Amino acid sequence: MKNKILIIICSLLLCCDVIEPPYNEINNKLPAEKTVLIEKFTGHKCSNCPDATRKIKELQDLYPEVIIPVTIHPGGLSEFTDTDKNYPYDFTTNSGDTISNDMGAIFLPLGTVNRIDGGVSNRCFTKDQWASKIDQILYNSEGIPKPKEVEMDINTYLNKENKELTIETNLIFFNPGVYKLCLIIIEDGIISPQIDGAEYVENYEHNNVYRCSVNGIYGEVINTETGSLEWTGTHTILFNQDSNTNWTDDWDNINNCHVIAYVYDQNSLIIEESVKEKVLNE
Amino acid sequence: MKRLIYLFVLLINYSVFAQIPSVDIKNLNGGIINTSTFDNNQNPIIISFWATWCKPCKEELENIHEVYEDWQEETNVKLIAISIDDARNTSKIKPLVNSKGWEYEVYHDSNSEFATKMGVKPIPHTFLLNNKKEIVWNHTGYTEGDEEDLYEKILEILE
Amino acid sequence: MKKCFFIIITLIYFQIEAQNLGNLSGNSELNYQTFQEDSTINAEARNPYILGYINLLYNYKNLNIGSRLELYNNTIPGFENYEGYGLAYKFVQWNNKFIDITIGDFYEEFGNGLILRTYYDPNLGLDNSINGIRIKTTPYKGIYLTTLIGKQRSYWETSNSLVRALNTDLLLNDIILKNWSSYVNLGLSFVTKKEDDDNPLYILPKNVGVFNGRLNFTKGNVSLSLDYAYKINDPSSDNNYIYKPGNGLILTGNYSIKGLGVSLGLKRIENMGFRSEREAILQDLNINFITPFTKQQSYSLATIYPYTTQPNGEMGSQIDIYYTIPKKTTFGGKYGTSINFNFSNVYDIHRVTVDGTTVINQSGTLGYNSDYFQTGEKLFQEINLEITKKINKKLKLIGSVIYLENNDKILKSQPLLPNQNHEYIYAKIAILEILYKIKPKNSFRVELQHLQTKQHYKNWVMGLMEYKLSPHLFWSIQNQYNYGHPDTPQYYSFSTGYTQGANRLSITYGKQRAGLFCVGGVCREVPASNGFSINLTSSF
């Protein structure tokens, strides 16, 4: 009996992994082939949310040119996203609110990772869970990069006079299936207050802000089961107040806008690939 | 779902003549004592579960305190008060008990291990043990006057 | 399968009783709540919520077998992962004077729970039991050893990490100080958790260990207690993935003589969140329990602004004085008067940025440096004074005043109105409780409470009347009126109940305010609701 207890004590005492700095892992894997879309749910009155933005930057350093962030401010969580004299800008949109609800953004900050499920709330994961989920999406268990499911290419043409954008989307699928394609517009460089921890930052730069969808909140169906594995489509959108209430006549930030196109499986709703392109190509 | 309710109703009406379970709990000196050592020389024992934040519990113990001497003289009954406070109130149990002058044996079941095995929910929950340390009566809740019922029960089992 | 199970249990029960083959005991609880829409208090309509469980315990000589069936239907927010029913708890235990072995699910606490405490609180939706093996022995008198290994419960599954622990309690008076008039008790515990590292950003420790030492000393009327814990690096969601070790120190002492008791406490907790899984949040998978220091309130308006435990850092103090003014003195009156004074406060710990970082608590770094004895911002403070006086055989009065400060600006736990921000809340509460014994077995109770504050939802007034008919019945009616709130909501409700032996049924109809429901510093948000609430508990 005494011996058994001694053995247990010794095995317990050996169980302490003290890690010495540097604490960051080195990524020895081959560059990834897939992309990951992160829909980050945030709010300008949410003090923990800038941490989530910093986390995305860390992840972008770890996986260069893989991560495409989109920032959505859910109107349903009005405590964090409504406007007042200290936080005058309205970042919310009706379509953004629908997405937040469906994805399960019940508190902030949360984010979807290619809309895989099994998150802490429906398809939403906490910022600390993003890293391991991204790794599982990009690499298989042996560390080999997973191949692309879809080859995506978009071209944009902007008519500066009437602010009409034409988007040409070319898709090549490697496997037949029923997919959906969704096109959205995001905007960078919006200067407006944000609370960061205990600090009120008056001139915070908000990036990747979701403005509107081009072809419906959840896009359109593309069926490649019968017929061709290639698809081409053209869409247009006007940068006016019908598309987003902040796009008034004197709005001047079209240089900082991007189109994001993403393709997802109609059954699992999981995003396969996404691609991002500037609105203005000079 | 219906089966659950059926089971509730069926089992509600049966009381158990059982021995108290044997569990290690704390005494107020930071030590450990096992509940199987509770003893009163073959006289009745009252076990009352309480907590420092539970008003009816403190009322019950206070009201019994006022007649405790008489009860002891007549029946040799002993009251063991078991606090189910968690660690938050550990240091307050002895000061509270002493300030009120209670003369019970007081113990601390900080993780409700003994209380769970006794099926205690909610407090106050009071049990009466006969001379063979079997549970012969128990009651939850307290209203002014309930201690008289308890005393009648003690007299009953002494016959 | 489940239906047969109930019938079998019932039959076994009667057989066992008849043949004296051990005994079957247990308890059960059933909660049924309806939710109607009510725009005056922001309550949503919801399907009726049912929460029920049955604990069964079979005992035959040295053998104990236990189980618990749980049922959750139409769960309220925060309980979604519990939806469904099943066998949530089961164990087989064999014990004699020297050894106690449990296989299955078990609850355990080391000392004050500072590094390990697993317990069950159905109202909070908390069950962090460990599923595995536990061995307890008493090799010599005064030496208590516990060792365990297992995985924690996570809703209907177990966590994907392993907990191993060892605890020793040494009652020195039984070992070496046999004839001392003082009592000295030592405690030593060690807990480790093992979890894989699948995080590509940081090198995470697979094995995290926590150590705890306790010392209790009692001599005459004085008792002193020291509780210290140290945790190695444990980057997790709780602390934003920093590599700083954690530590905790709790010092308490008390002095009491007949008629007077004083209790003092000091504590400092730093980075002592300790969970089975790094990414767990809210109430999930806590291994330890951090002793709260604030007074446990029972009056309703005193529970509106509770302090929520901050495992990442808090330091505070507490003092309690219990005094009974003796009978037959001027202030004591005929029966004596009881006075209870309590003071408690909590501060944040001191933090400064560490070399090479720009923000405090930056992920993937040491996090911060802290001056041990310096405090950060004040988080909470409360002064309580309660006087209990029995006027005559029929009448007893309890008067209470509370002055509290709650830094919700930092704690951010209160629900808010539109366009309202978290503020530092100052509140004064006055309470009067009148207990009147109309005639034997018939008692009447009145509670009047008032909360005054210029912040948050502003002022409240509350009234309650309760009539109890011993030993079975009670009726009560109450109203909490938030007259300072722009919508002036009233939360009125009517309750009645019936108690028979160890069985109790209570029915409440009315409105419940939104807020925090806290047990032991662990809080859950409760939404406002309007409807029926039925509660049935039974012990057998």
Spacing of C-alpha A114 from chain mean position = 8
Instruction: Report the neighbours of A using a cutoff of 3 or more CB pairs below 8 angstroms.
Output: C
C-beta atoms of B119 and C259 within 8 A: no
Fold annotation for A29-278: Immunoglobulin-like (2.60.40)
Cα–Cα distance measured from residue B150 to residue B134, given in angstroms and rounded to the nearest whole number: 16
Collapsing DSSP to helix, strand or coil, B17 comes out as coil
B119 CB within 8 Å of a chain C CB:
yes
Mean pLDDT within C382-393: 93
Cα–Cα distance measured from residue C135 to residue C148, given in angstroms and rounded to the nearest whole number: 6
With beta carbons under 8 A apart, name residues in chain C contacting A106.
Answer: 77
Mean pLDDT within A83-87: 88
- The domain that holds B105 is classified in CATH as 3.40.30.10
Cα–Cα distance measured from residue C422 to residue C419, given in angstroms and rounded to the nearest whole number: 10
Interface of C with B in 136-175 (CB under 8 A): 136, 144, 169, 171, 173
C with A: touching (≥3 Cβ pairs within 8 Å): yes
With beta carbons under 8 A apart, name residues in chain C contacting A27.
Answer: 200
Alpha carbon separation from C531 to B1, C42, C45 (Å, rounded): 21, 13, 9
Note whether C315 and C346 are within 8 A (CB). yes
Who among B21, B87, B110 is closest to C59 (CB)?
B21
User: Which pLDDT value is given to residue B15?
Assistant: 45
Q: Which two tokens stand for residue C212?
A: 């705890």
Note whether A77 and A107 are within 8 A (CB). yes
In tens, the pLDDT along C480-503 reads 999 999 989 999 999 999 988 778
User: Which pLDDT value is given to residue C19?
Assistant: 57
**pLDDT classification of A5: cutoffs 50, 70, 90:** low
User: Which pLDDT value is given to residue B4?
Assistant: 55
Cβ-Cβ contacts under 8 Å between A and C: the total is: 102
What size, in residues, is chain A?
Answer: 282
A-interface mutation test, from C44, C81, C101, C201, most A Cβ less than 10 A away = C201
Alpha carbon separation from C299 to A217, B54, C48, C430, C520 (Å, rounded): 50, 11, 28, 10, 16
Close Cβ partners of C489 (under 8 Å, ≥ 6 residues apart): C40, C41, C481, C482, C511, C513
Plot region of B59 (φ>0 → left; ψ -120 to 50 → alpha; else → beta): alpha
Q: Which two tokens stand for residue B117?
A: 């095995």
What does the DSSP 8-state code read for residue C354?
P
* Assigned domain for B4 exists: no
* Assigned domain for B53 exists: yes
Note whether A42 and A72 are within 8 A (CB). yes
User: Which pLDDT value is given to residue C4?
Assistant: 54
Who among C71, C108, C255 is closest to B4 (CB)?
C71
Higher-pLDDT residue of A89 and B14 is: A89
User: Which pLDDT value is given to residue B3?
Assistant: 57
In tens, the pLDDT along C14-71 reads 665 555 677 888 889 999 999 999 888 888 888 999 999 999 988 888 899 999 999 9
A168 CA to chain C: closest CA distance, Å?
A: 36
Query: Which residue in C313, C319, C298, C477 sits closest to C411, CA to CA?
Result: C313
Close Cβ partners of C506 (under 8 Å, ≥ 6 residues apart): C495, C496, C497, C498, C534, C535, C536
Query: Which residue in A155, A192, A157 sits closest to A170, CA to CA?
Result: A155
Alpha carbon separation from C210 to A15, A20, C232, C234, C343 (Å, rounded): 10, 18, 7, 10, 31
Question: Does residue C391 register a pLDDT over 80?
Answer: yes
In tens, the pLDDT along C102-141 reads 999 999 999 999 999 999 988 888 899 999 999 999 988 8
User: Which pLDDT value is given to residue C8?
Assistant: 63
With beta carbons under 8 A apart, name residues in chain C contacting A59.
Answer: 201
C-beta atoms of C364 and A62 within 8 A: no
Q: Could you give the percent of chain A with pLDDT greater than 70?
A: 94
* Assigned domain for B100 exists: yes
With beta carbons under 8 A apart, name residues in chain C contacting B112.
Answer: 119
Cα–Cα distance measured from residue C308 to residue C286, given in angstroms and rounded to the nearest whole number: 15
User: Which pLDDT value is given to residue C12?
Assistant: 64
Cα–Cα distance measured from residue B121 to residue C50, given in angstroms and rounded to the nearest whole number: 18
> pTM above the 0.90 mark?
no
B with C: touching (≥3 Cβ pairs within 8 Å): yes
Segment among A72-81, A177-186, C192-201, C520-529 with least mean pLDDT: C520-529
Question: Does residue C520 register a pLDDT over 80?
Answer: no
Tally of CB atoms within 10 A around C209: 24
Residue B99 lies in domain: 20-158
Q: Which residue type occupies A35? A: T
- Domain regions of chain A by residue span: 29-278
Counting Cβ atoms within 10 Å, is residue A227 exposed (0-12), middle (13-18) or buried (19+)? exposed
Question: Does residue A207 register a pLDDT over 80?
Answer: yes
With beta carbons under 8 A apart, name residues in chain C contacting B25.
Answer: none
Counting Cβ atoms within 10 Å, is residue A250 exposed (0-12), middle (13-18) or buried (19+)? exposed
User: Which pLDDT value is given to residue A47?
Assistant: 87
B103 CB within 8 Å of a chain C CB:
no
Mean pLDDT within C302-318: 94
C-beta atoms of C24 and B15 within 8 A: no
**Cα dihedral value A30, A34, A36, A37, nearest 10:** 150
**pLDDT classification of B18: cutoffs 50, 70, 90:** confident
Who among B24, B29, B120 is closest to C183 (CB)?
B29
Collapsing DSSP to helix, strand or coil, C3 comes out as helix
C496 CB within 8 Å of a chain B CB:
no
Cα–Cα distance measured from residue C276 to residue C162, given in angstroms and rounded to the nearest whole number: 7
The dihedral sign for the CA sequence C481, C483, C485, C488: positive
What does the DSSP 8-state code read for residue C281?
-
In tens, the pLDDT along C399-453 reads 999 999 999 999 988 888 877 888 999 999 999 999 999 988 888 999 999 999 9
Mean pLDDT within A177-181: 93
C-beta atoms of C233 and A27 within 8 A: no
B31 CB within 8 Å of a chain C CB:
yes
Phi and psi torsions of C166, nearest 5°: -140, 135
Q: Which two tokens stand for residue C480?
A: 């909490």
Q: How would you classify the pairing of strands B78-83 and B105-108?
A: parallel
Residue of C nearest to A55 (CA): C363
User: Which pLDDT value is given to residue B13?
Assistant: 44
Cα–Cα distance measured from residue A145 to residue A26, given in angstroms and rounded to the nearest whole number: 16
C271 CA to chain A: closest CA distance, Å?
A: 16
**pLDDT classification of C476: cutoffs 50, 70, 90:** very high
C-beta atoms of A23 and C206 within 8 A: no
B125 CA to chain C: closest CA distance, Å?
A: 8
A22 preceded by cis ω (within 30°)? yes
Q: Which residues are bridge partners to C406 per DSSP?
A: C380, C425
Higher-pLDDT residue of C526 and C371 is: C371
Interface of B with C in 120-159 (CB under 8 A): 120-122, 125, 137-141, 143-146, 148-149
Q: What is the mean pLDDT of chain A?
A: 89
User: Which pLDDT value is given to residue B79?
Assistant: 96
Residue of A nearest to C190 (CA): A12
C-beta atoms of A62 and C198 within 8 A: no
Question: Does residue C469 register a pLDDT over 90?
Answer: no
Cα–Cα distance measured from residue C218 to residue B95, given in angstroms and rounded to the nearest whole number: 13
Q: What is the mean pLDDT of chain B?
A: 87
Higher-pLDDT residue of B120 and B107 is: B107
Count of domains observed in chain B: 1
With beta carbons under 8 A apart, name residues in chain C contacting B30.
Answer: 183, 185, 216-218, 223, 225
User: Which pLDDT value is given to residue C449?
Assistant: 97
In tens, the pLDDT along A222-259 reads 988 887 889 999 999 999 888 999 998 888 889 999 99
Cα–Cα distance measured from residue C445 to residue C440, given in angstroms and rounded to the nearest whole number: 14
User: Which pLDDT value is given to residue C283?
Assistant: 84
C-beta atoms of A8 and C147 within 8 A: yes
Q: At B32, which helix (H) or strand (E)?
A: strand B32-34
Query: Which residue in B74, B77, B76 sits closest to B47, CA to CA?
Result: B77
Who among B1, B99, B117 is closest to C259 (CB)?
B99
User: Which pLDDT value is given to residue B12?
Assistant: 46
Interface of C with B in 184-223 (CB under 8 A): 185, 216-218, 223
User: Which pLDDT value is given to residue C174?
Assistant: 84
Who among C225, C324, C437 is closest to B101 (CB)?
C324
Backbone Cα Rg of chain A: 22
Question: Does residue A50 register a pLDDT over 50?
Answer: yes
